[in-house]
């Protein structure tokens, strides 16, 4: 693990998730869902700021028009971290107070794909949604116990999504109208790999998956076969993203909730040996 760097900062995340590289801000953003915080690290000098939120901070995505959009509790909001401004776009699962948002990505059409799950992680009360730029919210799949890791094919032809509790990454064709085809099992996790969590594509079409419970991130070839992995000094690995001007640095989030590991909840940097793709932005 000599090539793994633990980012120095004052706190550990209870449930670190959703790392996002912003070339516009020259910063890495990520959330601590259970700690109800959004974190921002200036890559130039490593300075980390942490912004407390009123509810579970599920994810954060850039807006094409400027600024950020975030999933907070069951609400999707436009947000300004420096002024603490939040402007509601839509509420998700309004009739299920036991659910919260969990993990999301934008696609090249400027839509957001976001899942929900029960706070208790113990029943299939969650679902998968598409938020269009005009603010229209549509449920596209369900039910889910732990909706996780959407990753959109660079060509926009399909997306990958998982229910971490089921240990399977599913592939969905994306239709022209934004609807999804039937779920097709794409990668069935073996026991030694833990459970699939957050994921992202690299520029070569490889899929990088955070392996909850297995102390690693794994790369899968475009056909879904395992290619290699990078070991990490924490068990609960949650997500990963490419960052830096060349998109050749990888940052990995983890969780400390329920473990006493020295580096549980740390943010790591590793050398992926390849380049990533720019994150897409929400056009709403």
pLDDT average, residue stretch 159-186: 96
Judge whether residue 55 has pLDDT over 60: yes
**pLDDT at res. 95:** 81
User: What does the pLDDT look like over 138-150, one tens digit per residue?
Assistant: 999 999 999 999 9
Sheet holding 16-22, edge to edge: 16-22, 27-32, 37-42, 47-52
Residue whose C-alpha is closest to residue 94's, from 147, 134, 63, 139: 139
> Is a pLDDT exceeding 80 seen at residue 275?
yes
With a cut of 60, say whether residue 1 has pLDDT above it.
no
| pLDDT at residue 96 is higher than 90 | no
Query: What is the C-alpha to C-alpha distance for residues 45 and 59, in angstroms, rounded to an integer?
Result: 24
Question: 116 and 146 in contact (C-beta within 8 Å)?
Answer: no
CB burial class (10 A; 0-12, 13-18, 19+) of residue 175?
exposed
Mean pLDDT of 129-145: 96
Question: Domain extents for the chain?
Answer: 5-270
Residues in the annotated binding site for substrate: 100, 102
Q: Average of pLDDT values for 181-210?
A: 97
Which residues are part of a known binding site?
Answer: 17, 100, 102, 148, 197
Residue 26 bears catalytic tag = no
Quote the CA–CA distance of 276 and 89 in Å, as a whole number.
30
pLDDT digits (tens, 9 = 90+) for 197-256: 999 999 999 999 999 999 999 999 999 999 999 999 999 999 999 999 999 999 999 999
Number of neighbouring beta carbons within 10 Å of residue 246: 9
In percent, how much of the chain has pLDDT > 70?
A: 99
Known binding site for a divalent metal cation: residues? 17, 148, 197
Instruction: At 203, list the tokens.
Output: 């520029």
Burial class (CB in 10 A: 0-12, 13-18, 19+), 268: buried
Q: Whole-model pTM?
A: 0.96
Residue 157, pLDDT > 90, answer yes
Q: Positive or negative CA dihedral for 183, 186, 188, 194?
A: negative
Catalytic, out of 173, 197, 257, 271: 197
Instruction: Say what the pLDDT of residue 88 is.
Output: 96
Query: What's the chain's Rg over C-alpha atoms?
Result: 17
Average pLDDT over residues 22-45: 96
DSSP states of 28-57 as a string?
A: EEEEETTTTEEEEEETTTTEEEEEE-SS-E
| Neighbour tally for 279: CB within 10 Å | 20
Residue 94 pLDDT greater than 90, yes or no: no
Lookup: tokens for 133: 């730029």
pLDDT of residue 167: 95
Mean pLDDT confidence for 99-127: 95
**62-82 residue pLDDT tens:** 999 999 999 999 999 999 999
Q: 112: closest CA among 76, 66, 74?
A: 76
At residue 3 the predicted structure's pLDDT band, cuts being 50, 70 and 90, is confident
Q: What is the DSSP letter of 276?
A: B
Q: In this predicted model, which residue has the larger pLDDT, 44 or 215?
A: 215
CATH number of this structure's domain 5-270: 2.120.10.30
């Amino acid at each position: 693990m000599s090539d793994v760097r633990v980012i120095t900062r004052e706190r550990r995340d209870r449930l670190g998730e959703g790392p996002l590289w912003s070339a516009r801000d020259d910063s890495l953003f990520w959330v601590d869902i259970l700690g109800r915080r959004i974190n921002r690290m200036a890559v130039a000098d490593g300075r980390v700021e942490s912004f407390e939120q009123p509810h579970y901070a599920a994810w954060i995505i850039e807006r094409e028009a400027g600024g950020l959009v975030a999933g907070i509790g069951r609400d999707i909001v436009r947000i300004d971290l420096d002024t603490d401004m939040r402007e509601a776009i839509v509420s998700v699962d309004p009739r299920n107070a036991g659910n919260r948002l969990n993990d999301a990505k934008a696609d090249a059409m400027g839509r957001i794909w976001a899942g929900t799950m029960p706070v208790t992680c113990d029943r299939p009360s969650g679902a998968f949604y598409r938020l269009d730029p005009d603010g229209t919210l549509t449920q596209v799949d369900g039910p889910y116990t732990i909706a996780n890791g959407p990753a959109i094919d660079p060509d926009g032809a399909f997306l990958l999504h998982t229910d971490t509790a089921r240990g399977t990454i599913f592939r969905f064709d994306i239709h022209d109208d934004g609807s999804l085809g039937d779920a097709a099992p794409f990668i069935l996790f073996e026991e030694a790999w833990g459970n699939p969590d957050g994921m992202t594509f690299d520029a070569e079409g490889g899929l990088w998956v955070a392996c909850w419970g297995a102390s690693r991130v794994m790369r899968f070839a475009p056909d879904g076969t395992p290619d290699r992995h990078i070991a990490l000094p924490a068990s609960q690995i949650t997500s990963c993203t490419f960052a830096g001007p060349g998109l050749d640095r990888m940052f990995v989030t983890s969780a400390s909730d329920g473990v006493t590991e020295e580096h549980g909840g740390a943010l790591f940097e590793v050398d992926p040996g390849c380049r990533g793709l720019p994150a897409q932005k929400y056009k709403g």
